[in-house]
């Protein structure tokens, strides 16, 4: 953000509370958009700020734009349009923004001081640097093999694939000419390394390793968010996210297929190795717990939130696995999402924190991103029937997840817009 204009006025000119409040609402909405607040919740927060400060606000949030109009008593209305190019998941800054808007709404801080604080937050570097996030992405890929039925043999190669992907993302960051190619190139690189790694290691399943290696690129969460926004009648934003998630899945699918061909050209065809026995029963919960901590690092969570995030990941996963064994995949995902939503809302109520901090990691282990990628690769590979079946399964799983979250909000509300 650019440096804000001075908030100090001459002695004979007191600041207009409405203009200060409108400026704060604009900055808050823009910052929330950047740091990962969903459209419905962002609109709710900014609207509530306007109502508490004495003016009307209409907010229209899109994945790449933000419209805010104001109806100030006794004045002509005005509107602002922001074209949004940044998008970051930063739980640290999101929690601090939540505290700021709480103070303004409760009149513990002036809107002018809060606006200046938003600028300071935006200019601060991320809580965890490149080394920590690179290692976290590598470890996440390693433990991700457990989600797809892999074992210890696949973890080492998946960790190397995740490390290579992280370095690829680091190189591509800030280079406009690579916009739109990151998913394609990253998936291709991971797919090639999976084939080559299995060839030289003599063990492992390249399909599982590839999925685990690109786990952070899968658009499952975006797909789920789009369906949730559609269910909450936020049609434009939901449709845009749905189309974008489909595009990312297509890019990943083409990248995986191209990378697989390159790998075969380099080392020859590698058959997927059969699993040698069942993985130990302790591996699943341990991998999920480790994934919870790594997700917290990747999303720049404060240290106080790492344990709640880990629990928020572990409990829905256990509930989902138990539900799948007894009731089938759709109802299993529904139960997992219900647990994730209830736990997150309780956390928000008890500790006065944004529910998003625990809700998002909790549903990441439930989202059907891998199913969507499988459907794309099957369609591109010529298996139209199998691809359509996987696509239908993906959408039904995502819908089950959204319904679980909606029911959790009906059972116990977070009492906070975020």
Tokens of 257: 């297929």
Q: Nearest-5° angle of CA 27, CA 229, CA 295?
A: 70
Structure tokens at 52: 């508490």
Query: Please, what's the b/e burial string for 263-272 (b: 16 or more CB within 10 A of its CB; e: otherwise)?
Result: bbeeeeebee
Question: At 302, phi and psi to the nearest 5?
Answer: -70, 155
HSE at residue 29, side-chain half, CA atoms within 13 A, is 34
Going by pLDDT thresholds of 50, 70 and 90, the confidence category of residue 44 is confident
pLDDT averaged over the chain?
81
Q: How far apart are CA 138 and CA 370, in angstroms?
A: 18
Based on the number of CB atoms within 10 Å of its own CB, is 119 exposed (0-12), middle (13-18) or buried (19 or more)?
A: middle
- pLDDT digit string (tens) for 250-272? 888 888 888 988 998 988 877 65
Sign of CA dihedral 368, 234, 54, 82: positive
Q: Which of 14-28, 282-296, 316-330, 400-414 has the lowest mean pLDDT?
A: 14-28
pLDDT at site 364: 80
pLDDT band at 380 (very low <50, low <70, confident <90, very high): low
pLDDT of 374 reads 58
276 burial level (CB within 10 Å; 0-12, 13-18, 19+) = exposed
Give yes or no for residue 202 having a pLDDT over 50. yes
Question: Which string of DSSP letters, residue by residue, matches 193-229?
Answer: HHHHHHHHHS---HHHHHHHHTTTT-THHHHHHHHHH
Q: Give per-residue pLDDT as tens, 132-160.
A: 999 999 999 898 888 777 778 888 899 99
User: Any idea what DSSP says for residue 415?
Assistant: S
Cβ contacts of 377 within 8 Å, gap of 6 or more = 253, 256, 257, 387
Dihedrals phi, psi of 216, to nearest 5 degrees: -80, -10
Distance CA 378, CA 212 (A): 18
The pLDDT of residue 353 is 87
pLDDT tens readout for residues 221-234: 777 777 778 777 78
To the nearest 10°, report the CA torsion of 205, 209, 210, 216: 160
Report phi then psi at 106, rounded to 5.
-90, 5
The predicted-structure confidence for 206-216, as pLDDT tens digits, reads as follows 888 888 888 88
Of 394, 381, 393, 396, the residue nearest 207 (C-alpha): 381
User: What per-residue confidence (pLDDT) applies to 222?
Assistant: 79
Count of CB atoms situated within 10 Å of the CB of 156 = 16
- 8 A C-beta contact, residue 81 and residue 65: yes
CB 363 within 8 A of CB 345: no
pLDDT value, residue 7:
41
Confidence of residue 3 (pLDDT cuts 50, 70, 90): very low
Classify 69 as helix, strand or coil.
Answer: strand
Tell me the mean pLDDT in the region 190-203.
Answer: 88
Mean pLDDT score, 175-184: 75
**Sign of the Cα pseudo-torsion (180, 258, 225, 232, in order):** positive
Q: What token pair was written down for 212?
A: 């685990």
> Could you tell me which residues come within 8 angstroms of residue 342 by beta carbon, excluding any fewer than 6 positions away?
408, 411, 412
Higher pLDDT, 377 or 353: 353
C-alpha torsion 38→42→43→46, nearest 10: 180
In angstroms, the CA 418 to CA 413 distance is: 11
State the pLDDT at residue 271: 64
Per-residue pLDDT for 192 more than 90? yes
């Amino acid at each position: 953000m650019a440096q804000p204009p001075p908030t100090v006025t001459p002695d004979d000119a007191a600041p207009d509370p409405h203009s200060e409040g409108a400026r704060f609402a604009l900055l808050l909405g823009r910052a929330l958009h950047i740091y990962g607040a969903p459209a419905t919740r962002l609109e709710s927060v900014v609207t509530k700020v306007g109502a508490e400060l004495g003016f009307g606000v209409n907010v229209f949030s899109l994945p790449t734009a933000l419209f805010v109009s104001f109806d100030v008593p006794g004045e002509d209305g005005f509107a602002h349009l922001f074209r949004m190019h940044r998008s970051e998941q930063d739980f640290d800054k999101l929690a601090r923004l939540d505290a700021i808007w709480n103070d303004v709404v409760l009149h513990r801080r002036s809107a002018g001081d809060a606006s200046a604080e938003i600028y300071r937050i935006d200019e601060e570097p991320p809580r965890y640097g490149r080394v920590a996030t690179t290692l976290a992405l590598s470890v996440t890929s390693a433990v991700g093999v457990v989600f797809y039925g892999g074992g210890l043999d696949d973890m080492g190669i998946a960790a190397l694939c995740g490390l290579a992907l992280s370095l690829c993302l680091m190189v591509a960051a800030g280079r406009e000419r690579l916009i739109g190619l990151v998913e394609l190139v990253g998936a291709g690189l991971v797919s090639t390394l999976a084939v080559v790694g299995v060839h030289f290691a003599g063990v492992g399943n390249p399909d599982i390793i590839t999925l685990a290696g690109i786990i952070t690129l899968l658009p499952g969460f975006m797909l789920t968010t789009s369906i949730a926004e559609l269910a909450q009648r936020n049609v434009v934003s939901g449709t845009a996210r749905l189309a974008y998630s489909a595009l990312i899945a297509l890019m990943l699918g083409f990248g995986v297929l191209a990378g697989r061909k390159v790998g075969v050209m380099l080392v020859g065809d590698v058959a997927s190795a059969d699993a040698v026995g069942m993985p130990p029963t302790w591996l699943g919960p341990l991998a999920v717990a480790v994934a919870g901590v790594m997700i917290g690092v990747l999303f720049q969570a404060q240290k106080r939130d790492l344990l709640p995030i880990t629990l928020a990941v572990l409990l829905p996963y256990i509930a989902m696995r138990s539900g799948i064994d007894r009731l089938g995949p759709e109802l299993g995902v529904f139960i997992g999402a219900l647990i994730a939503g209830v736990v997150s809302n309780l956390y928000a109520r008890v500790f006065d924190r944004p529910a998003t901090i625990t809700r998002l990691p909790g549903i990441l282990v439930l989202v059907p991103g891998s199913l969507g990628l499988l459907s794309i690769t099957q369609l591109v590979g010529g298996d139209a029937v199998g691809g359509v079946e996987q696509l239908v399964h993906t959408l039904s799983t995502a819908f089950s997840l959204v319904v679980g979250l909606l029911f959790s909000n009906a059972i116990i509300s977070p009492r906070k817009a975020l």
